[in-house]
Chains A and B, each alone.
Chain A
Amino acid sequence: MKDFAVETAGLTKEYHIYDHPLERLKELFLKRARHKVFRALGPIDIAVRRGEALGILGENGAGKSTFLKLAAGVIEPSEGRITVSGKVSSILELGTGFNPEFTGRENVLLNAALLGLSPKHINKRIGMIEKFTDIGEFFDMPVKTYSTGMYLRLAFSLAVHVDAEIVLIDEVLAVGDGAYEKKCIDKIWDLRRNGITLLYCSHSLYTVANFCDRAMWLKEGRVQAFGDTKEVISIYEDYLREKERVESTEMPPLSNSVMRKVAEVKDIRLFADGQPVETSVQYLSNIEVILDFEVFEDTDVYVGFAVDRNDGLCYYADSMHKQGLEPFHGPGRERLTLSFKNLPILGGAYKIVIFLLDETGICIYDRKESIIFKVDTKEKEWGVCYLHHEWKR
């Protein structure tokens, strides 16, 4: 048996766009090209190990469904190849090949036959499928009378009861009700314990994080990140935040260009456990911020800081006023060290913003941002920062 359940090499899917279906027909027989090319996916080179669960992330239209369809063999790659070793069952784009006119039972029988199960084999399974679907007499009613939830239940129970070695799931669990969702999740865990390979495509990063060993982030048909689920999710989340960045509500610094400058931040340096920070820091490391600034006037200057995430969300902000500290008095060059013991921030991209303020805290003399740094977490914890907690029973 091969080590890899799914392997791709230069896998690419391009769609040809035609003005009219007839143009397409002509092209198949005549030489002249009559299309515009749209690349939906690729090139992609990945390998999914047997028994592994791969989460596929990405925005709408990123190529997730195209990838699953290629894996299911429903569409053929335009270039490159995808090798899938094992029997595949799939829930693609809300439902398998269900005929709305047929009853649930008839659709199960048809689709089981499509998956290559013999009638004898499927007759043994149909009881289990009916029980798992749990929609009562609707099982023997035409599928067109189903609610979306019932439709999904049927599709899901079918896909997980046909002894597939590779199961492809495209964004479905979210539509069922809570209790049923739990049942589906339990079933997937069951299958995973029995060693099936799972390709799971979802917008719910939380489920992906829990189900999947590795994840792949697709953007405009290309692999943007591939690897450990937690890392990929963290990179993807950073991207999403960056994209949806809320315009900062901070007050802009008072325009000092016309006035004389009162104070200026010269330099911000970051150290994590004594080492200069380049791009990332470890979760819970000790962070030191060394700040150089200059006060030009004979006046009091207070220092403030904020820890911001890359989408502009402020995690924490404080200033010398609030701590009752004495201000710096100019003119002169000053140095200040700000230290965080065991910085409790979970994965993401952050920056530290330094403010030089007047005695009211409202007037900002100067504002400067540190480099953006990432926090690496491989922990199973979920959320934005560590909260101190204890368990008792």
Chain B
Amino acid sequence: MKELFVNIYRGRYILENMVVKDIKAKYAASLLGPFWLVATPLYQILLYTFLFSTILKVRFEDNSGTSSFVVYLLAGLIPWLFFAEATSRGISTFIENAHIIKKVKFPMEVCVASVIVSSAVTFCIYMIFYLAMLIFMGLLKFHTFPLFIIPFVIQVLMILGLSFGMGSIAVFFRDITQATGMILNLIFFVTPIVYPSSAIPERFRWFFSINPFYSIVEMYRNVLVRGEAPDAFSLIYPSVFALVIFVAGYYVFNKTKEAFKDIL
């Protein structure tokens, strides 16, 4: 863990350079620029709201209508978009930076870090909009909302683990990157993001309770809109899960990184 931070610090200028360029490429280089920043999630919000709220009549809490659906949807969707973007890009980060890995000696950890930082910037922008919306609607729970940093850190740990672990394996075995999109899509639908956890049939409950993303999404909702602090189980389980993934992933990375230059 310490090694990771030391290496990222050593590569801080590279990190800065990569992140700045990445954000520029994302928003400044395209024709409509920041329009996409808003358009992409807006499209998803409208689509899911129409599909699940208007057509399928999904309701999160008993008293609610469409506006409440959007509030709950976003509490899960924003963290999910962050996770999905960072993970899918993190897994192919070594392949994408092949040109420098092969030619220059530098701490390769920054390849993963830059992807996470860049995705986190988008996350923060969405989060600010979302919080503003909650304040406007008078729904924000002021006493618990700063706790959203807890599920965020757990997510980062998980992304680090997956990026290092799967990303290293992907160097040898490119098919991993192809499979990532599909797996992420599956996780998206088995996690109560576009539907409430109360909609899950009793006989599948056990499955959802072992899904760490379930705990994470619920944690976001609890601290942001329900005003509940995370309880011990919903905190410990995903934390341990993320920590195991991180340790394993970083181990795989350290074990294989010397071979990257020969393979890439």
Interface string of A114-125 (1 = CB under 8 A from B): 111111000000
Question: With a CB–CB cut-off of 8 A, which chain A residues contact B18?
Answer: 110
Interface string of A81-122 (1 = CB under 8 A from B): 000000000001101111110100010011111111111000
Question: With a CB–CB cut-off of 8 A, which chain A residues contact B263?
Answer: 21, 24
- Is residue B61 within 8 Å, beta carbon to beta carbon, of the partner chain? no
How many residues belonging to A are interface residues under a CB distance threshold of 8 Å? 33
Which among A75, A98, A117, A118 is the interface contact of B261 at CB below 8 angstroms?
A: A75
Question: With a CB–CB cut-off of 8 A, which chain A residues contact B103?
Answer: 74, 92-93, 95-97
- Is residue A258 within 8 Å, beta carbon to beta carbon, of the partner chain? no
How many residues belonging to B are interface residues under a CB distance threshold of 8 Å? 25
- Is residue A316 within 8 Å, beta carbon to beta carbon, of the partner chain? no
The CA of A92 and the CA of B21, in the complex, are separated in Å by 24
> Taking CB as reference atom, which chain A residue is nearest B100?
A97
> Taking CB as reference atom, which chain A residue is nearest B173?
A22
> Taking CB as reference atom, which chain A residue is nearest B256?
A28
Within 8 A of A (CB), among B92-123: 99-106
Counting residue pairs across A and B whose Cβ atoms lie within 8 Å, the total is 70
Q: Are B13 and A111 in contact (CB under 8 A)?
A: no
Q: Are A22 and B172 in contact (CB under 8 A)?
A: yes
Q: Are B258 and A76 in contact (CB under 8 A)?
A: yes
- Is residue B197 within 8 Å, beta carbon to beta carbon, of the partner chain? no
- Is residue B262 within 8 Å, beta carbon to beta carbon, of the partner chain? yes
Question: With a CB–CB cut-off of 8 A, which chain B residues contact A99?
Answer: 99-100
The CA of A382 and the CA of B259, in the complex, are separated in Å by 44
The CA of A110 and the CA of B18, in the complex, are separated in Å by 7
Question: With a CB–CB cut-off of 8 A, which chain A residues contact B21?
Answer: 102, 106, 110
Q: Are A96 and B104 in contact (CB under 8 A)?
A: yes
> Taking CB as reference atom, which chain B residue is nearest A155?
B103
Q: Are A119 and B256 in contact (CB under 8 A)?
A: no
- Is residue B255 within 8 Å, beta carbon to beta carbon, of the partner chain? yes
- Is residue A72 within 8 Å, beta carbon to beta carbon, of the partner chain? yes
The CA of A267 and the CA of B91, in the complex, are separated in Å by 76
B233 to chain A, nearest CB (A): 33
A65 to chain B, nearest CB (A): 11
- Is residue A25 within 8 Å, beta carbon to beta carbon, of the partner chain? yes
Question: With a CB–CB cut-off of 8 A, which chain A residues contact B102?
Answer: 74, 97
- Is residue A252 within 8 Å, beta carbon to beta carbon, of the partner chain? no
The CA of A119 and the CA of B18, in the complex, are separated in Å by 12
The CA of A22 and the CA of B176, in the complex, are separated in Å by 12
- Is residue A15 within 8 Å, beta carbon to beta carbon, of the partner chain? yes
Q: Are B172 and A114 in contact (CB under 8 A)?
A: no
> Taking CB as reference atom, which chain B residue is nearest A88?
B105
Within 8 A of B (CB), among A45-87: 72-76
- Is residue A29 within 8 Å, beta carbon to beta carbon, of the partner chain? yes
The CA of A55 and the CA of B198, in the complex, are separated in Å by 74
Q: Are B16 and A119 in contact (CB under 8 A)?
A: yes
The CA of A384 and the CA of B34, in the complex, are separated in Å by 68
The CA of A264 and the CA of B105, in the complex, are separated in Å by 67
B98 to chain A, nearest CB (A): 9
Which among B17, B105, B172 is the interface contact of A72 at CB below 8 angstroms?
A: B105
Q: Are B99 and A97 in contact (CB under 8 A)?
A: yes
Which among A25, A115, A119 is the interface contact of B173 at CB below 8 angstroms?
A: A25
Decide: A110 near B17, CB < 8 A? Known: A25-B173, A92-B103: yes
- Is residue B247 within 8 Å, beta carbon to beta carbon, of the partner chain? no
Q: Are B17 and A109 in contact (CB under 8 A)?
A: yes
Which among B14, B105, B171 is the interface contact of A73 at CB below 8 angstroms?
A: B105
> Taking CB as reference atom, which chain B residue is nearest A92?
B103
Q: Are B261 and A74 in contact (CB under 8 A)?
A: yes
The 8 closest A-B pairs by CB, nearest first: A97-B100, A73-B105, A113-B13, A97-B103, A25-B172, A21-B172, A113-B17, A113-B14
Interface contacts beyond A73-B105, A95-B103: sample of 9 additional A-B pairs, CB < 8 Å, sorted by A: A15-B262, A25-B173, A74-B105, A92-B103, A93-B103, A97-B102, A114-B14, A114-B104, A119-B16
Of the A-B pairs whose beta carbons lie under 8 Å apart in the complex, a sample of 24, sorted by A's number, is A21-B172, A22-B172, A25-B169, A25-B173, A28-B259, A72-B104, A73-B105, A74-B104, A74-B105, A74-B261, A95-B103, A96-B103, A97-B99, A97-B104, A100-B99, A110-B100, A111-B104, A112-B13, A113-B14, A113-B17, A114-B14, A117-B13, A118-B13, A119-B17
Interface residues of B (CB under 8 A from A): 13-14, 16-18, 21, 99-106, 169, 171-173, 255-256, 258-259, 261-263
